[in-house]
Amino acid sequence: MLVDIHNHILPGLDDGPKSIEEALLLATDAVENGITHIIATPHHHDGKYMNASSVVEEAVFNFNKELYERSIPLEILPGQETHIYNSLISDLNKDLLTLANSGKYILIELPINHIPTYTFDILFQIQLKGYIPIIVHPERNMVFRKDKQKLYDIVNKGSLVQVTASSLIGVNGRAIKRYIKYLVKHNIVHFISSDSHHHIKRPFLLKAAYQYVREKFSEGLVSYYSENAKHVINGTSFQPKRPISFKKGRD
C-alpha cells in the first residue's frame, strides 16, 4: 500500500487534468510509481478555485468508476487543498473535508509571498477542534525559506508538514532542494507527496523521491514517510519525530 496525500488528479476541477483522458494518463503514472491510494486534493478557496466537499465527493465517485471500468488498480479518496482564509474555522464540518474523510487531517496551503497574521491563530483553532493541519509545500513560501525557525515554531505547536516530491529531488532548483534537506534533518517533514497536476508537466515522481530518501538518508525514513501517509488515510494518530530547532542552544 502506497498513499499519495496531495495531488490534483480529478479532471476539470482546477489546474489539474482538463479532461478524463488526461486524468487517466495521470492515474497510469501513479500506478507506475507504485501508488495504490490517492487522496485527491483539488484547490479550494485559493482565489481562483472553489471545490466544496460535495463537489469533490461527486468527482471522486465518478473517477473511481472510470478507473474500475478500465481495470486501473487505484483507489481515489476525497480531500482538498484549502488555501488559508480568515473564516476557515466556521467552514469546518461544512464545505471543508478532512483528508480521506478521516475526521482528522486537513491540508492547508499558505500564500507564496507572506504568512497571513491570522495563520497561527487558525492553525491553533483547527487543533482545538480536534483536527491536525498539514502545511503543504512550505518550500514554496518566501518567508519560510528565509526563516526556517518560523516553520519549526508551527511544527512545534502541533502542525505537520508535507513537501513535494519534485522539489526534494531537485526539479525546482538546487536552493529548494537544499532547503528541504535542512527540513528533513531537523525533523520538520512528515510527508512526501506528489502535488501532481499533469502526466508530463507535473507528474507523480514519488518513486524517485522515496529512492532519493533511501540513498541520502535511510530506509527507516522512507518507512516513516510512507507509514505517516497511511495514518492519514486511516485517520489514526502517530508520534511525529521531535522537531529540532534551528536556533543554537535550543531544541
Q: Which residues bind Fe ion (CB under 5 A)?
A: 81, 195
Decide if 226 contacts 52 (C-beta within 8 A): no
Q: Residue 59, CB half-sphere, CA atoms under 13 Å: how many?
A: 25
Q: Based on CB atoms, which residue is closest to Fe ion, 29 or 81?
A: 81
| Least distance CB 195 / Fe ion (angstroms) | 4
Q: Based on CB atoms, which residue is closest to Fe ion, 81 or 95?
A: 81
Can you tell me the distance from the alpha carbon of 222 to that of 123, in angstroms, rounded to the nearest whole number? Answer: 27
Q: Based on CB atoms, which residue is closest to Fe ion, 56 or 186?
A: 56
Decide if 100 contacts 77 (C-beta within 8 A): yes
Q: Based on CB atoms, which residue is closest to Fe ion, 15 or 153?
A: 15
| Least distance CB 216 / Fe ion (angstroms) | 24
The CA-to-CA distance between both ends of the chain, in Å, stands at 34
Q: Which residue of the chain is nearest Fe ion when measured via CB? A: 195
| Least distance CB 137 / Fe ion (angstroms) | 7
Q: Which residues contact 244 (CB under 8 A, 6 or more apart)?
A: 152, 185, 186, 187, 188, 251
Q: Based on CB atoms, which residue is closest to Fe ion, 4 or 195?
A: 195
Q: Which three cell numbers stand for residue 21?
A: 483522458
| Least distance CB 136 / Fe ion (angstroms) | 6
Buried b or exposed e, range 131-144, using 16+ CB within 10 angstroms? bbbbbbbbbbbebb
Q: How far is CA 128 from the centre of its chain?
A: 21
| Least distance CB 176 / Fe ion (angstroms) | 15
Q: Based on CB atoms, which residue is closest to Fe ion, 163 or 169?
A: 163
Listed residue (42, 105, 125) closest to 237, CA to CA: 105
| Least distance CB 133 / Fe ion (angstroms) | 15
Q: Look at residue 116 and give its three-state secondary structure.
A: coil
Q: Based on CB atoms, which residue is closest to Fe ion, 79 or 240?
A: 79
Of all helices (H) and strands (E), which one includes residue 85? none
| Least distance CB 14 / Fe ion (angstroms) | 8
